[in-house]
Chains A and B, each alone.
Chain A
Amino acid sequence: MDTQTQKTTALVQVTDISKIYNPGENEVRALDHVSLTINEGEFVAIIGQSGSGKSTLMNMLGCLDTPTSGTYMLHGVDVSHMTDDEQSDVRNREIGFIFQGFNLIQSLTAFENVELPLIYRKVPRRQRHQLAKAALEKVGLGKRMDHKPGELSGGQQQRVAIARAIAQAPPILLADEPTGNLDSASSRDIMNVIHSLYEEGRTVIIITHDPGIAAQAKRIITISDGHIIDDKINPSIEE
């Protein structure tokens, strides 16, 4: 049941990855020989309790951290042994992050926040403005582009973060507890946005501890103590 047919290309291919903190006597194996394949266009939830290693896995998938051992092929390229700057470029090109705490820069307006990854990609000013505007309009914030994060509600801030994640059209959306800081109405709202992005063909990976959120994904991977203990197609959404 966990064998996906390989008719689509493997976007994420993690092979035998381990991450060990404090090597030596008191070492912590946050990830212990984890292997995982995610194809283009999938909607995956990675669920686990806190301390299960899901955050470490998310850091690995997001190229924010390098594994102690094992390889991570992203789009057929080994990204597990890259330099910091090469990883920065990969993050910029391949991954849109949506964080639990929104992670917007408080001193910048919504528009400027969305612009940031485009600046780092060296998109020309004009095109950059168009892309940032389009992304904000897409999440329904076309009228609040000049507001600073402090002037927006939590749900609106998360929409800005989503706009920032999709502005540069990366193949992967990596969401870490995207609704963790939101009330239930805003949560539904954000999940709807994420759903629509999935429907447009983006690969979405949600890391969560909330079974209710995970249940909205097409595939649910359960992680515990650094091991993947379950990987299944969500039975409740079988089309």
Chain B
Amino acid sequence: MEYIKSSWKNITMNKARTVLTMLGIIIGISSVIAILSIGNGLKSDLTGSLDDMVGGAVTININTKKTPKTLKNDDLMVIADAIPIIRGVTPNVTQYGISYYRREMGTRIFGGNTSSACEFDKGFYSGKYYTQDDVDSGNDVCVMSQTSALLIFGSTDVQGLQFELTINETTRILTVVGVVRSDEAELERFREIVKSGDIDYFYADIYVPYSLLSDKYNLGKDEFTSFQIYPMPGQADEAAAKAKTLAENILDLRGQGAVAIQSYASLMEMYANVLDSVTMVIALVAAISLLVGGIGVMNIMTVTVTERTREIGIRKSLGARTSSILFQFLVESSMISLFAGFIGMILGFVFSSVLGKLAEIQAVVHASDVAMVVAISVFVGIFFGIYPARRAATLNPVDALRAE
């Protein structure tokens, strides 16, 4: 207690110097905290979107380098029927084209079967999904979201409207049979975008029967190297594994590794890993600035010891043991760095919440981070305080008393 009191006195006696000494540690700690809390925020953002995806699609690919074999729509139907925890299986064909309704609009076309309706969980704004009959005959129909309707037509009330869709050289007239509900906020955003006319950077997404693409646009045949399954909620892993095994059986490719599951979960995991390594790199930078800050503390403590040589002599003559002097200076250096740690922590919080607001990330602060900061600060204080404190403690009292 006495040590803390006297350390406090010495620290506050020379405020400017103390603040300058603390600067390095403040920068180090605040960047550690900012990085950690933003990193945590990003991660929980990611896991948040992952949760949304769990009920969503899992893509299964056939490696075209390992086998020329492909699956037919009928094979996919077999898979869908054989595995009860799968809600649907659809081919996965993506094309790019141009829609025309009073103006041109870049469009992504997703070809599938009726199961691809599972993609939409928000329900229909108007109309319904294309039917099995549409798939069988390759009818010129499509489904789109409200936002895509805005992009193509400038309105969401588009059920029954027709527009031209050109893929490569082929142009056909498609009828909108259903409009899928979009997120309200998203919709509002797109209204603004369409109003400003700044739509060049966007694609409209439309969903058509795969047979329309293969038969009418002459893009490929009923041969698929990629398909999507829609598992029951929470059973994605099991469903994907079963679908993969079944696909291997159908293709007679058991144990060759030619069929692979590409889930969003694994993509997200990869993303999270990248984020982790970025965090590590910045943590390293922060560690270096802590090191520099620590050396600053050591430097100033050495100066302090030299300045206070006489005081140390007096204390020794009054019966201070080596350990008392050592402890006194260690308390002082730890207090400096602990104090700097707290300031750095607060700055870090401020910094991360400002940055979080700008980047629309909810910065998350864990109690463990705070504990870590305290631990690091005290460690830095003690580690870099030991050398000057030992110098002070082992001074010869006669010489120390003689010092001016």
Asked if A and B are interacting partners, one says yes
Q: A residues near B, CB below 8 A?
A: 59, 62, 64-65, 84-85, 88-89, 91-93, 97, 99, 103-105, 107-108, 116-117, 119-121, 164
State the total of A-B contacts with C-beta under 8 angstroms: 60
> Which residue of chain B has the shortest Cβ distance to A91 in the bound complex?
B319
Q: Is the CB of A64 within 8 A of B319?
A: no
How near does chain A come to B399, taking the closest CB pair, in angstroms? 10
Interface 9-residue window, one of B6-14, B145-153, B180-188, B333-341: B6-14
Contact A89 B314 (CB under 8 A): no
Known contacts A64-B401, A65-B398, A108-B6; A120/B314 CB under 8 A: no
Q: Which of B2, B6, B13, B322 contacts A84 (CB 8 A)?
A: B322
Sample (30) of A-B pairs whose CB atoms are under 8 Å apart: A59-B398, A62-B317, A65-B396, A65-B397, A84-B322, A84-B394, A85-B322, A85-B323, A88-B316, A88-B319, A88-B320, A91-B316, A91-B317, A91-B319, A93-B319, A97-B317, A97-B318, A103-B313, A103-B314, A103-B317, A103-B401, A104-B314, A107-B10, A108-B6, A108-B9, A116-B318, A117-B319, A119-B2, A120-B324, A121-B319
Contact assessment for A64 and B397 in the assembled complex, using a CB-CB cutoff below 8 Å: yes
B318 (CB) vs chain A CBs: closest residue: A117
Complex: A89 Cα to B317 Cα, angstroms:
10
Answer whether A116 and B315 are a contact pair too, CB < 8 Å, given A59-B398, A64-B398.
yes
Query: Is the CB–CB distance between A92 and B9 below 8 Å?
Result: no
At the interface, yes or no: B164 with Cβ under 8 Å from chain A? no
Residues of A within 8 A of B401 (CB): 64, 99, 103
Would A89 and B321 be within 8 Å (CB), given that A107-B10, A108-B6, A119-B2 are in contact?
yes
For chain B, residues 295 to 349, give those with C-beta under 8 angstroms from any C-beta of chain A.
310-311, 313-324
Asked if A105 and B324 make an inter-chain contact with CB atoms under 8 angstroms apart, the answer reads no
Interface majority SS (helix, strand, loop, mixed), chain B: helix
Residues of chain A within 8 A (CB-CB) of B6 are: 107-108
Residues of B within 8 A of A120 (CB): 315, 318-321, 324
B323 and chain A: residue at smallest CB distance: A85
Return B248 CB to nearest CB of chain A, in Å: 78
Binary per-residue interface labels of chain B (379-404) against chain A in the complex, 1 for a CB within 8 Å, 0 otherwise: 00000000000000010111001000
Q: Which of A59, A91, A107 lies in contact with B318, CB distance below 8 A?
A: A91
Q: How far is the CB of B83 from chain A (nearest CB, A)?
A: 77
Q: For residue A170, which residue of chain B has the nearest CB? A: B319
Interface residues of B (CB under 8 A from A): 2, 6, 9-10, 13, 310-311, 313-324, 394, 396-398, 401
- Interface pair A164/B317, CB less than 8 Å apart: no
Please determine whether B314 and A105 come into contact, CB atoms closer than 8 angstroms. yes
Q: Chain B residues near A89: list those with CB within 8 A.
A: 319, 321
Cβ distance B396 to chain A, nearest Cβ, rounded Å: 8
Q: What residues of chain B lie closer than 8 Å to A64, measured between beta carbons?
A: 317, 397-398, 401
Question: Which residues from A are CB-within-8-Å of B319?
Answer: 88-89, 91-93, 117, 120-121
- Distance (whole angstroms) from the CB of A126 to the closest CB of chain B: 13
A176 CB to nearest chain B CB (Å): 10
Q: Closest chain A residue to B324 by CB distance?
A: A120
- In this complex, what residue of B is CB-closest to A84? B322
A164 to B318, CA, bound (A): 9
Chain B residues with CB under 8 Å of A93's CB are 319
Smallest CB separation, B304 vs chain A (Å): 12
Residues in chain A near residue B311, CB distance under 8 A: 105
For B313, give the chain A residue with the smallest CB separation.
A103
B326 to chain A, nearest CB (A): 11
A-chain residues with CB within 8 Å of residue B315 when the two chains form the complex: 105, 116, 120
Smallest CB separation, B149 vs chain A (Å): 77
- Chain A CB count within 10 A is highest, among B317, B318, B321, B324, for B318
**CB atoms of B398 and A92 under 8 A apart:** no
Expressed in whole angstroms, the minimum distance between the Cβ of B306 and any Cβ of chain A is 16
Q: In whole angstroms, what is the CA distance A58 to B397 when docked?
A: 13
B317 cross-chain contacts in A, Cβ below 8 A: 62, 64, 91, 97, 103
Kindly state the separation between the CA atoms of A225 and B273 in the bound complex, as whole angstroms: 79
How far is it, in angstroms, between the C-alpha of A89 and the C-alpha of B323 when the chains are bound? 12
Q: Smallest CB–CB gap between A82 and chain B, Å?
A: 12
Query: How many Å from the CB of A75 to the closest CB on chain B?
Result: 15
- Taking CB as reference atom, which chain B residue is nearest A105? B311
A37 to chain B, nearest CB (A): 24
Whether the pair A107, B13 counts as a contact (CB closer than 8 A) is: yes
- A119 CB contacts on chain B under 8 angstroms: 2
Cα separation A104 to B311 with both chains bound (whole Å): 8
**Chain B residue contacts of A85, Cβ below 8 A:** 321-323
Complex Cα distance, B324 from A84, in Å, reads: 12
Q: What are the 3 tightest A-B residue pairs by CB atom distance, in nearest-first order?
A: A92-B319, A120-B319, A117-B318
* Smallest Cβ-Cβ distance to A59: which chain B residue: B398
* Contact status A88-B310, CB under 8 Å: no
Query: Which residues from A are CB-within-8-Å of B2?
Result: 119
Interfacial chain B residues near A107, Cβ < 8 Å: 6, 9-10, 13
Give chain A residues whose Cβ lies under 8 Å from the Cβ of B322: 84-85, 88
Q: How far is the CA of A119 from the CA of B321 in the complex (A)?
A: 11
Complex formed: what's the CA distance from A107 to B6 in Å?
A: 9
A105-B400 Cα distance, complex, nearest whole Å: 13
Q: Are A88 and B321 in contact (CB under 8 A)?
A: yes
Minimum CB–CB distance from B398 to chain A (whole Å) comes to 5
Please, how many angstroms separate the alpha-carbon atoms of A64 and B399 in the complex? 10
Q: Which residues of B contact A88 (CB under 8 A)?
A: 316, 319-322
